[in-house]
Structure 1
Amino acid sequence: MPPKPLLHRDNPSAEPLVGNVKVTRDDWLNVAMDVLISDGVEQVKVLALAERMKVSRSSFYWYFKSRQDLLDALLKTWEQTNTAAMLARAEAPAEAITGAVLNVFHCIANPALFNTALDFAVRDWARRSGKVRSLLDRSDARRVEALTQMFLRYGYASLEAMTRAKVLYYMQLGYDMAEPNESYAHRLEMTPQYLKVFTGREPSAIELDEFSEFTRKHWDL
């Protein structure tokens, strides 16, 4: 899970705030996202966020019209990070389908690309909101379609491409939700086997070495 959000004022590398401004719009958004992930959407309340950041509630309205405006911004952030990242990785060039799937695995390896905890929080939110459920359904459809197109580019028949895309996507969601008690080293060791299951092809040593190097930047290996 990503670390707790650092407020702009507490970040020594950030530009100093001007005048009476105590926190930024991103501060409100990042703290709200942290609460959404840890406690659920019902706890994303303006007064509670203000108390957590030790600022006046009135400063919230410098940046947002209402609580609903903040909630809409959270959903927009989710789409612009998680969904956009998966689509981009599915469209990234690769010499073979195994390399293309490894590109998608970058979302798993790097939480800055794909925030799994945020995805689960939005899914929980969707159980309580028809609007969010519709948005989630559209997002899932876009992700699966991008993965289907990925398989199609490497010569898979239409039905097989769609099936493999769904297996890859929904297996990964379930895998992350299960939170298996295993090390990153074990997950990396199993990667060639997962690739064979997802693609029916053998990955190359070069592909595996490149992915291993990528994961070492983000995993404690």
Structure 2
Amino acid sequence: MTASEAFAVPQEQSEPARRTGRLSVDDWVRAALDLLVRDGVAAVRITRLCEELHVTKGSFYWHFTDINGLMEAVADHWCDTQNTSMGALVDLGSMAPRDRLETMTAALVGDRSWAVENAIREWARSNVIVADTVRRLDRLVFSVVQEALLELGFDHAEARLRAGALVYAGIGFLHARDSLDTPTADEIRSIFWVITARPDA
């Protein structure tokens, strides 16, 4: 499970606002999120955003006192969307355990997913609100994976070890993407099946 869906910036929503110059708080938040994902949190500056949105700084200051106000809004938005993601994770409990795990594993594939996860985890180093939400989501992901493995018949200790291997592998894929070949969807599924296969089955 990743944050990629929460960070998508639909062009059909943002383009009309850019043409008319009438930007909402949501337009600014989406633009800041998109810039954060593309170039990192240090790139999110008022001047840069105004250039990309083709508006003056007056448009920014109509909604926010300073860049910190915008970043607080971005953090609040991201945390809200992740709370929704957590609810969706809990809802996966109605699926068969292997289907549940494969659904979560599939979320690792895709350029937007990798970019968003890397950007958010980097941002979490300097934002305690984001860091807390990342931590809670990681723990929930671990719990859901471990529960699925228990349902597959692993004992508690083995389910914990295998859940750790899957979750850490997912996080590792994010950090190693620029230096190692990106695993394909089939390769990720193969790793998934190796970890979830019971030796006695």
TM-score w.r.t. structure 2 length? Answer: 0.72
Match of 2:138 in 1: 140
Aligned to 1:6, which of 11, 17, 27? 11
Which of 168, 183, 192 aligns to 1:170? It is: 168
Structure 2 runs not aligned, ≥5 long:
none
Structure 1 stretches of at least 4 aligned residues deviating more than 6 Å after TM superposition: 1-4
Tell me how far apart the structure 2 counterparts of residues 122 and 98 of structure 1 sit (CA, whole Å): 28
CA pair 138-80 structure 1, distance change in 2 beyond 3 A: same
Q: Which is helix-richer, 1 or 2?
A: 2
Q: What's the % identity of the aligned pairs?
A: 25
Give the length in aligned residue pairs. Answer: 190
Q: Distance in 2 between matches of 1:147 and 1:87?
A: 15
Q: Which has the higher contact order (CA 8 A, sep 6+)?
A: 2
Gaps of 5+ in 1: 203-221
Aligned counterparts, 1:76-91, within 5 A: 76-81=76-81, 84-85=84-85, 88-89=88-89, 91=91
RMSD over aligned Cα, in angstroms? 3.5
Q: How many angstroms does 1:65 deviate by? A: 4.9
Q: Is the 8 A contact 2:46 2:60 kept in 1?
A: yes
> How far apart in 2 are the matches of 1:133 and 1:9?
28
8 Å contact from structure 2 (residues 82, 133) kept in 1: no
Say whether the 8 Å CA contact 1:87–1:143 is kept in structure 2. no
Q: CA deviation at 1:148?
A: 2.3
Alignment partner of 1:108: what SS?
Answer: coil
Deviation, structure 1 residue 55:
0.9
Query: Which residue of the partner structure matches residue 214 of structure 1?
Result: none
1:105-137 Cα offsets, whole Å, 9 max, x none, are 23224678xx33122112212333455444433
Alpha-carbon distance between aligned partners in 2 of 1:140 and 1:42, rounded to the nearest angstrom: 24
TM-score (structure 1 length as normaliser) = 0.67
Partner amino acid for 2:169? M
